[in-house]
């Protein structure tokens, strides 16, 4: 137990030191700067001209470049990731990305006139946590924390925390319970995700 | 209305029975750990899932249409005003909980909010105190018990009350029983006002979550597990934020002299 704890401590220390002071090695951009830049891009897309389809395409480009989609997908499958066959893993990752895009596209209309204010950055074991306040007209301001990590020299979003709830943790609990309720079958989850995608296509 | 009340009482009894069983096995600080794994700390899952189904049906024909009509008919600013008045009415209970939690600064915030918003804020309709630097925070007897080390498990889902646990359900009963507005005044007018407050409160609370709930029901593969996860995470974040709040009792605007006073030496 003591050994495990000290090993964990060393790992945590390593994680804390690696992206020293919250700067990515390559660009020298801070975690807060990254979120600020991404927020501005989001706002300019949402408030910009252009058709819904064009906006969705632009949004998807941002997600692909700034979000660690495959890392989040793996996290959400939790203990079942290792049970899945390589083919299932690949299918799952592809479907996960599509479902994520559908859910983001669906929120496009809700965030017209949205504003981003970037607050403090706090280093934690899971990454640099950048606090933001999001204000949209006629809505109470929402506190959103972005968990970002330096992956191969650039910042990637690995989790979003809204009102104390982690998006990826909630998703993992959802999938975990679904798989457990379907005879521990990863294939059942893949089929369900495929239905979700086809319903929204 | 009386049927709803009977339901609430029944739930209270259920929750009490649960809290007695839950306390014995509870250990402090276990909320955080349980947020991690779905299905853990939910030994009553079959019962809870049944109650979840009952609640979903109940909600479909009662609260949800009421909340939808309320959102459609009543304009935004009026709804905000009503929401603020209801929040303000809960401040005496919140103040007591802030004190029981041993958080004087939060208690001070609540007191100032109640006094300022009840007067300048026209019976609480306008949140004036927010702009004066006294932000709102959550506080209830469930939170207080959590800070005292009472465990947040097992998970318990009840119709109308929604996701929770014996600790928080018990806390809710204490909050209702301890509300001074439940005792002040008498006569038909007061009774009507009390029931109106309860009814509007239910609809207001439901209206806050119209979009979120329908989205979760639409997109989650296991909505029951998703609500459970969200509730636990949100609750443990609330508990942690109270625990970590060590704000100074002296507000920022109070002139604090840099030099120590020397009253005694002047004699």
Facing residue for B39 by CB, picked from A138, A180, A192: A180
B37 interaction partners in chain A (CB closer than 8 Å): 173, 176
Q: How far is A179 from chain B (nearest CA, A)?
A: 9
**Is residue A163 less than 8 Å (CB to CB) from chain B?**
yes
Is B221 close to A169, i.e. CB distance below 8 A? Answer: no
Q: What is the pLDDT of residues B98-122, one digit of tens each?
A: 999 999 889 999 999 999 999 998 8
Q: Nearest residue on chain B to A110, judged by CA atoms?
A: B211
Q: B-chain residues within 8 Å CB-CB of A169?
A: 35-36, 229, 233
CB contact under 8 A, B38 and A166: no
Q: Are the C-beta atoms of residues B206 and B66 closer than 8 Å to each other?
A: yes
CA–CA dist A187, A160 (Å, integer)? 27
- Asked whether residue B68 carries a pLDDT value surpassing 90, the answer given is yes
DSSP label at residue B260: P
Question: From the CA of A20, how many Å to the nearest CA of chain B?
Answer: 26
The distance of A185 to chain B (nearest Cα, Å) reads 14
| From A103, A169, A181, residue closest to B222, measured CB to CB | A181
Provide the whole-model pTM.
Answer: 0.79
Q: What's the mean pLDDT in A131-136? A: 90
Judge: B225–A103 Cβ closer than 8 Å, yes or no: no
Please compute the mean of the pLDDT values over residues B189-212 and round it to a whole number. Answer: 90
Chain A, nearest residue to B211 by Cα:
A110
Q: Which of A24-33, A139-148, B22-31 has the lowest mean pLDDT?
A: B22-31
Q: Is the ipTM of this complex over 0.85?
A: no
The pLDDT of residue B19 is 39
Q: Has residue A188 got a pLDDT over 70?
A: yes
Q: Which long-range contacts (CB under 8 A, 24 or more apart) does B128-131 make?
A: none
Q: Does A152 touch chain B (CB under 8 A)?
A: no
Q: Residues A88-96: what's their mean pLDDT? A: 96
Judge whether A192 is closer than 8 Å to chain B, CB to CB: yes
Q: Is the pLDDT of residue A8 over 60?
A: no
CA nearest B46 in A: which residue? A181
What CA dihedral angle connects A108, A110, A112 and A114, to 10 degrees?
A: -100
User: CB atoms < 10 A from the CB of B239, how many?
Assistant: 21
> What is the predicted pLDDT for the residue at A168?
95
Q: Give pLDDT tens digits for B4-17.
A: 444 444 444 444 34
> What are the start-end ranges of the H helices in B35-90?
45-61, 63-73, 76-89
Q: Which chain B residue shows the shortest CA-CA distance from A188?
A: B221
Q: Report chain B's C-alpha Rg in angstroms.
A: 21
Compute the nearest-CA separation of A19 from chain B (Å).
25
Instruction: Please tell me the distance in Å from B44's CA to the nearest CA on chain A.
Output: 15
- List b or e across B126-148, with b for residues whose CB sees 16 or more CB atoms inside 10 angstroms: bbbbeeeebebbebbbbbbbbbe
Looking at chain A, which residue has its C-alpha nearest residue B42? A177
Facing residue for A169 by CB, picked from B220, B222, B229: B229
CA distances from B157 to A18, A94, B14 (A): 43, 35, 11
CA distance B231 to chain A (A): 8
B-chain residues near A166 (CB < 8 A): 233
Distance from CA of A48 to the nearest CA of B (A): 25
Which whole number is the average pLDDT over A160-169? 93
Closest CB to B230 among A110, A165, A172: A165
Which positions 83-142 of A are in contact with B (Cβ < 8 Å)? 103, 110, 138
DSSP single-letter state for residue B261: P
d(CA A135, CA A141): 5
């Amino acid at each position: 137990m003591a050994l495990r704890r000290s090993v964990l401590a060393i790992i945590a220390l390593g994680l804390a030191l690696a992206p020293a002071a919250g700067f990515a090695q390559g660009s020298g951009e801070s975690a807060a700067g990254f979120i600020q830049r991404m927020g501005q891009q989001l706002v300019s897309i949402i408030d910009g001209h252009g058709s819904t389809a064009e906006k969705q395409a632009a949004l998807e480009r941002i997600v692909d470049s700034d979000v660690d989609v495959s890392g989040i997908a793996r996290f959400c499958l939790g203990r079942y990731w290792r049970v899945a066959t390589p083919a299932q893993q690949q299918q799952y990752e592809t479907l996960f990305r599509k479902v994520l895009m559908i859910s983001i596209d669906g929120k496009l209309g809700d965030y017209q006139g949205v504003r981003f204010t970037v607050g403090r950055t706090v280093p934690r074991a899971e990454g640099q946590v950048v606090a933001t306040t999001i204000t949209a007209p006629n809505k109470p301001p929402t506190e959103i924390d972005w968990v970002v990590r330096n992956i191969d020299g650039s910042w990637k979003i690995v989790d979003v925390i809204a009102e104390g709830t982690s998006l990826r943790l909630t998703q993992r609990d959802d999938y975990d319970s679904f798989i457990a309720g379907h005879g521990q079958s990863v294939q059942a989850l893949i089929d369900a995700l495929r239905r979700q995608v086809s319903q929204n296509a | 209305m009386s049927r709803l009340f009977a339901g609430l009482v029944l739930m209270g009894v259920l929750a009490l029975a649960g809290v007695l069983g839950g306390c014995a096995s509870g250990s402090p600080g276990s909320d955080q750990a349980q947020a991690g794994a779905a299905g853990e700390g939910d030994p009553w899952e079959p019962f809870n899932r049944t109650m979840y189904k009952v609640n979903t049906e109940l909600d479909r024909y009662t609260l949800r249409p009421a909340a939808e009509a309320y959102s459609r008919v009543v304009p935004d600013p009026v709804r905000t005003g009503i929401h603020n008045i209801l929040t303000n009415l809960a401040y005496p209970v919140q103040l007591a909980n802030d004190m029981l939690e041993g958080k004087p600064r939060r208690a001070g915030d609540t007191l100032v909010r109640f006094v300022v918003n009840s007067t300048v804020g026209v019976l609480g309709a306008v949140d004036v105190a927010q702009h004066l630097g006294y932000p709102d925070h959550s506080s209830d007897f469930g939170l207080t018990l959590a800070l005292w080390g009472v465990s947040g498990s097992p998970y318990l889902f009840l119709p109308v009350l929604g996701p929770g646990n014996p600790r928080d359900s018990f806390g809710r009963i204490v909050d209702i029983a301890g509300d001074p507005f439940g005792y002040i005044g008498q006569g038909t007018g007061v009774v009507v006002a009390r029931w109106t407050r309860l009814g509007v409160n239910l609809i207001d609370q439901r209206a806050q979550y119209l979009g979120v709930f329908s989205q979760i029901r639409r997109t989650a593969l296991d909505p029951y597990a998703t609500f459970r996860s969200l509730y636990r995470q949100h609750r443990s974040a609330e508990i942690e934020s109270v625990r970590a709040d060590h704000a100074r009792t002296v507000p920022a605007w109070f002139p604090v002299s840099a030099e120590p006073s020397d009253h005694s030496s002047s004699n």
